[in-house]
Structure 1
Amino acid sequence: MPYMYILECADGSFYVGSCRNLENRVWLHDIGEGAQYTKRRRPVVLVYSETYDNVHDAFAREKRVQGWSRAKRNALIAREYDQLSDLSRKTFGRRYTEVSDDESDHG
């Protein structure tokens, strides 16, 4: 059965991947043969996984989740699905504040 999975590495970072045999793949990561990224950050712990009907869908989900922020990945891991939409809004590092009518005329 195909999976999309998230590992937490020893340094606290996340690794997102997909595979057919989850148990074997996590084991490979943990012994240093899964990926270069996890090889340098062992041990790893499986913190989240989803199952799919086919490998294509699992791989597509992997690529989507790889593009997510740490906060959004944390919400997924915690199964706080109601927060995912709010965490999708990008502010590009700027905080937006509401401007009063008086302030908007000055500049």
Structure 2
Amino acid sequence: MWYVYIIRSVEFPEQEYTGASEDLKQRIPDHNAGKSAHTAKYKPWKLVWYCAFPDKRKALEFETYLKSHSGRAFAKKRLLSSAEVDGSR
């Protein structure tokens, strides 16, 4: 399985990162250990959403979509609850 996920910075809740991984259980600790240049500055991170895909290509296509302007709008409206988006949770 491949996973597309959204993480949010604990210290800077306006910072989110969308990624894809075959090993989600290890990928989140990797982000929190600073192993990704894109996310090291805003660690620690918490997982706020993920979805499993049986095939890598589909997962990477969906990750690319979520990183687009319309995909970010879709994620905020449909994937993340309003409480998570406004930081009240």
Question: What band does the TM-score fall into relative to the shorter chain?
Answer: 0.7 to 0.9
Gaps of 5+ in 2: 83-89
Q: Which amino acid aligns with 2:80?
A: I
Identity among equivalent positions (%) equals: 26
Quote the residue 1:53 is aligned against. 54
1:1-107 alignment runs, 5 A limit: 1-9=1-9, 10-12=11-13, 13-33=15-35, 35-68=36-69, 71-75=73-77, 76-78=79-81
- Paired positions, count: 78
Q: Residue 36 of structure 1: CA displacement?
A: 1.2
The one of the two structures with greater contact order (alpha-carbon pairs below 8 A, sep at least 6) is 2
Q: Distance in 2 between matches of 1:11 and 1:37?
A: 14
Q: Which amino acid aligns with 2:29?
A: W
Q: Which amino acid aligns with 1:68?
A: H
Comparing both structures, which one devotes a greater share of its residues to strand?
Answer: 2
Q: Residue 37 of structure 1: CA displacement?
A: 1.9
Which entry has the higher C-alpha Rg, 1 or 2? 1
Superimposed CA distance per residue, residues 55-98 of structure 1 (whole angstroms, 9 cap, x where no aligned partner) = 1111111010011365532221229xxxxxxxxxxxxxxxxxxx
Deviation >6 Å, runs of 4+? none
Gaps of 5+ in 1: 80-107
Q: Distance in 1 between matches of 2:45 and 2:18?
A: 12
Q: Which amino acid aligns with 1:2?
A: W
